[in-house]
């Protein structure tokens, strides 16, 4: 079992492309797929994130930055995903026998979670692969399960985009001018008196007896405060960017190719765990 955490988009076409990139990274053992500076769908393996990368909103947001520039301007925040690849290595495995445990020491204790895939189905984000009679991957007799087939079907390999973790902002009634302050309040509450916190995810694959553990894998991601500046889009060549400071609370002005883009620290309000798009809670 291999876990490769990554930050990705919340939904829509960019999430579907991100999911494909995550699967490619798992299968080919790559840490980066795509161009993170120019593609919301790019995959980058992480062991550390900042708080703005765990926020989901109803308005344009990327990495905690409100009203991000194109091509991120249509995004509604991010989730920390926990992509996993399970190989049976000669033994059949089932999606229905998979469990996940998330342990977080955030100050609000809201990111802890435990669930089972016992009633989940294979789909395009949770792909089951039967190697067929020849027992070899990527040959003509492979059978792919990615269209709502029961998770109890035994396969040789499972590739899953992973559980998505995020802080869901209850921002429907929040006035536009107050969004930044509400983000700051929520982020401060998540950190509390800590300088950082950790999220540890563990997947367990059980035998059909629901007792014997066939395999287990864990990964820990450190969450740090939102930085005062977040680079969104390509890094300009010298002499750009030009940063103009205006005091601690006024943020930074980024001037790129004649365009002024206000980049500030952004955080959020009420929260909850969120499932992957088009999926049931697991």
pLDDT tens digits, 186-201: 878 888 889 999 999 9
d(CA 76, CA 57): 5
Order of strands across the sheet with 98-104? Answer: 48-50, 213-224, 197-206, 98-104, 113-116
Q: What is the pLDDT of residue 186?
A: 81
Q: What is the pLDDT of residue 269?
A: 33
Domain assignment of residue 120, yes or no: yes
Q: What is the pLDDT of residue 195?
A: 92
Q: How far is CA 138 from the centre of its chain?
A: 27
Domain assignment of residue 220, yes or no: yes
Domain assignment of residue 188, yes or no: yes
Domain assignment of residue 90, yes or no: yes
Average pLDDT over residues 194-216: 95
Question: Exposed/middle/buried for 243, CB within 10 Å: 0-12, 13-18, 19+?
Answer: exposed
Q: What is the pLDDT of residue 184?
A: 81
d(CA 215, CA 233): 39
Question: Strand 55-56 to strand 61-62: parallel, antiparallel, or no bridges (unpaired)?
Answer: unpaired
**104 pLDDT more than 70:** yes
Higher-confidence residue: 188 or 157?
157
Q: What is the pLDDT of residue 173?
A: 64
Domain assignment of residue 274, yes or no: no
pTM equals 0.83
Order of strands across the sheet with 157-160? Answer: 2-3, 84-87, 157-160, 126-130, 143-145
User: Collapsing DSSP states into helix, strand and coil, what is residue 98?
Assistant: strand
Gyration radius (Cα) of the chain, Å: 20
**159 pLDDT more than 50:** yes
Residue 266 · residue 226 · CB < 8 Å:
yes
d(CA 53, CA 39): 15
pLDDT digits (tens, 9 = 90+) for 230-272: 888 776 554 444 333 322 222 222 222 222 232 233 333 333 3
Q: Which domain holds residue 193?
A: 2-227
Total structural domains within the chain: 1
Q: What is the pLDDT of residue 188?
A: 82
Domain assignment of residue 25, yes or no: yes
Domain assignment of residue 260, yes or no: no
Domain assignment of residue 174, yes or no: yes
pLDDT digits (tens, 9 = 90+) for 41-62: 999 999 999 999 998 988 899 9
Average pLDDT over residues 196-217: 96
């Amino acid at each position: 079992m291999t876990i490769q955490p990554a930050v990705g988009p919340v939904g829509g076409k960019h999430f579907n492309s991100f999911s494909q990139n995550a699967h490619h990274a798992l299968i080919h053992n790559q840490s980066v797929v795509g161009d993170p500076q120019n593609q919301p769908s790019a995959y980058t393996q992480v062991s550390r994130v900042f708080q703005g990368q765990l926020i989901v909103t109803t308005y344009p947001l990327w990495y905690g930055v409100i009203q991000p520039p194109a091509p991120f301007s249509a995004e509604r925040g991010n989730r920390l995903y926990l992509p996993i690849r399970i190989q049976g290595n000669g033994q059949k495995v089932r999606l229905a026998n998979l469990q996940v445990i998330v342990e977080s020491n955030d100050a609000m204790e809201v990111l802890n979670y435990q669930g089972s895939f016992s009633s989940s189905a294979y789909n395009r984000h949770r792909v089951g692969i039967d190697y067929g009679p020849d027992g070899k991957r990527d040959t003509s007799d492979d059978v792919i399960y990615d269209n709502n087939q029961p998770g109890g079907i035994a396969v040789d390999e499972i590739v899953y985009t992973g559980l998505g973790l995020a802080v869901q902002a209850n921002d429907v009634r929040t006035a536009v001018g107050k969004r930044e302050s509400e983000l700051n309040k929520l982020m401060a509450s998540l950190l509390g008196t800590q300088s950082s916190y950790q999220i540890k995810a563990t997947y367990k694959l059980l035998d059909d007896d629901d007792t014997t553990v066939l395999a287990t894998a864990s990964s820990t991601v450190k969450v740090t405060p939102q930085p005062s500046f977040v680079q969104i889009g390509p890094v300009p060549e010298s002499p750009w960017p030009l940063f103009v400071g205006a005091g601690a609370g006024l943020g930074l002005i980024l001037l790129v190719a004649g365009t002024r883009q206000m980049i500030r620290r952004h955080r959020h309000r009420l929260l909850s765990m969120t499932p992957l798009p088009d999926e049931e809670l697991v």
